[in-house]
Structure formats: structure tokens, C-alpha cells
Amino acid sequence: MPCPLILCAQSPRTSGTLRLTRPESLGAPAPHRIGDGFAPFCKQLRHVVCVRGVYNAALATRKVDWTRKHEHYVGPLTREALLAGLDDKQRHLLATLETVDIDAPIDWDGTPFTFALFTWEFVQHEAIHHGQWSVYASLAGFDTPLSWRTSWGW
């Protein structure tokens, strides 16, 4: 039986919607920042690819290992490479969810997380970044994906 918390697998689909509408320039390693303390958009994407790698590995190994975060993506900060990284992590997530033991705890820095709590953290992280991406898109002056506008009333 597939994972009952399908929201975990659906959240990254918004990234696919984003790729269809964002300008090519936002995927380049240019200084597209929304303000002090925020990374350029391409580094935001790299961060999400790396964190998805940590989460995917944790589902398989039952342990969150932040020390290996940057091993999950070593490619360039180009649009094509980052989108391929997002796609790869999505495929890996879907395959992992087919076999994950939802009753086994996941060690998060010494704290046992239930599958439900772990996936809540995963989805929350995705939501935070998708919100940031919508701000980048809006400030850059282009239409956000239709699903964002209809879901969030833009």
C-alpha cells in the first residue's frame, strides 16, 4: 500500500508548476535577492534540492543527517541542472514512499520522530520555500503559476 500521507509527495509538484512560468534569468547564478539575508533564487533552489536529499535519505535510513546535506547536490546553479536535481529528488521520494515503514521512528538529532511528525516537518519546509519563491516571482514582475493565484487569491 502506498504511503497514506500523500501530501508529502504532492508538495514538490508546485516546483514543477514554477518551472513553467519563471523567467530563464531566475535560474542563473545572478543576484536576484528579495532583501538582505535572502539568498539568490538559484541558491534557494539548491537548498531545497539538498534538504530534499536529506529528507529522502532519512526516510530510508531512519536518521536525519544534516552533515551530508551538501552531498545531495553538487551540480551547477543553472536552471537545467537545478530542475534536474528537483526532479531527481521527487522521483526518489516517490519510490521511497512506496516502501517506507510508517511505524518506525526517525531519529532527528536524538529525538525520535513519528512518520507523521517527520512528514509534517518536510511539508512545512516546502511550504516556507514555496512562499518565498512566490515573493521572488512577484517582485520580479512576472505572473505566478495559476495554481498559486487560484489557491492563494492572488
pLDDT tens per residue, range 59-92: 999 999 999 999 999 999 998 999 999 999 999 9
- pLDDT exceeds 50 at position 151: yes
* Residue 28: inside a domain: no
Q: Which of 11, 102, 89 is nearest to 62 (CA)?
A: 102
CB 78 within 8 A of CB 26: no
154 confidence band (pLDDT: 50, 70, 90): low
The whole domain housing 120 covers 48-143
pLDDT mean over 101-109: 97
* Residue 148: inside a domain: no
Is residue 106 classed as helix, strand or coil in its secondary structure?
Answer: strand
* Residue 152: inside a domain: no
* Residue 22: inside a domain: no
| Residue 11: Cβ-neighbour burial (10 angstroms; 0-12, 13-18, 19+) | buried
pLDDT at residue 22 in the model:
47
Q: Which of 125, 120, 130 is nearest to 17 (CA)?
A: 130
Is residue 111 classed as helix, strand or coil in its secondary structure?
Answer: strand
pLDDT at residue 30 in the model:
40
* Residue 57: inside a domain: yes
* Residue 9: inside a domain: no
* Residue 88: inside a domain: yes
Work out how many domains the chain is built from and give that number: 1
